[in-house]
């Protein structure tokens, strides 16, 4: 059975996990800066995010950042996304 940290790490590398992290960061930074919170829901943000033309490219980049360019990462998979 996977630890809670491992489950969170794996979830953060999915599209919904990425969306959750981005939305949470927006809310956290708004509070820290004493700005008003976003006037849209997480569902609305996710819908908008996933429908952006360049989202797939961004998701690949975010995954690579999360993996910190791990040498064991499957680079062939990344190359296939751009073919």
> Into how many domains does the chain fold?
1
Tokens of 45: 């943000």
Q: What is the pTM of this model?
A: 0.65
What is the extent of the structural domain holding 42?
4-81
Tens-digit pLDDT profile for residues 19-32: 888 899 999 999 99
Q: Which residues of 16-50 are buried (b: 16+ CB within 10 A; e: fewer)?
A: ebbbbebbeebeeeeeeeeeeeeeeebeebbeebe
- Tell me what the mean pLDDT of segment 50-69 comes to: 71
Rounded Cα–Cα distance for residues 9 and 18 (Å): 11
Q: Which pLDDT score, from 0 to 100, does residue 57 have?
A: 73
**CA atoms lying within 13 Å on the CB side of residue 9:** 9
Tens-digit pLDDT profile for residues 34-52: 999 999 999 999 999 888 8
């Amino acid at each position: 059975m996977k630890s809670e940290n491992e489950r969170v790490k794996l979830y953060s590398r999915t599209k919904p996990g990425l969306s959750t992290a981005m939305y949470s960061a927006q809310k956290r930074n708004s509070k820290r800066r004493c700005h008003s919170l976003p006037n849209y829901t997480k569902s609305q943000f996710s819908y908008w995010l996933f429908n952006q033309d360049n989202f797939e490219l961004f998701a690949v980049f975010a995954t690579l950042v999360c993996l910190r360019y791990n040498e064991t990462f499957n680079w062939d998979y990344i190359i296939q996304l751009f073919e």
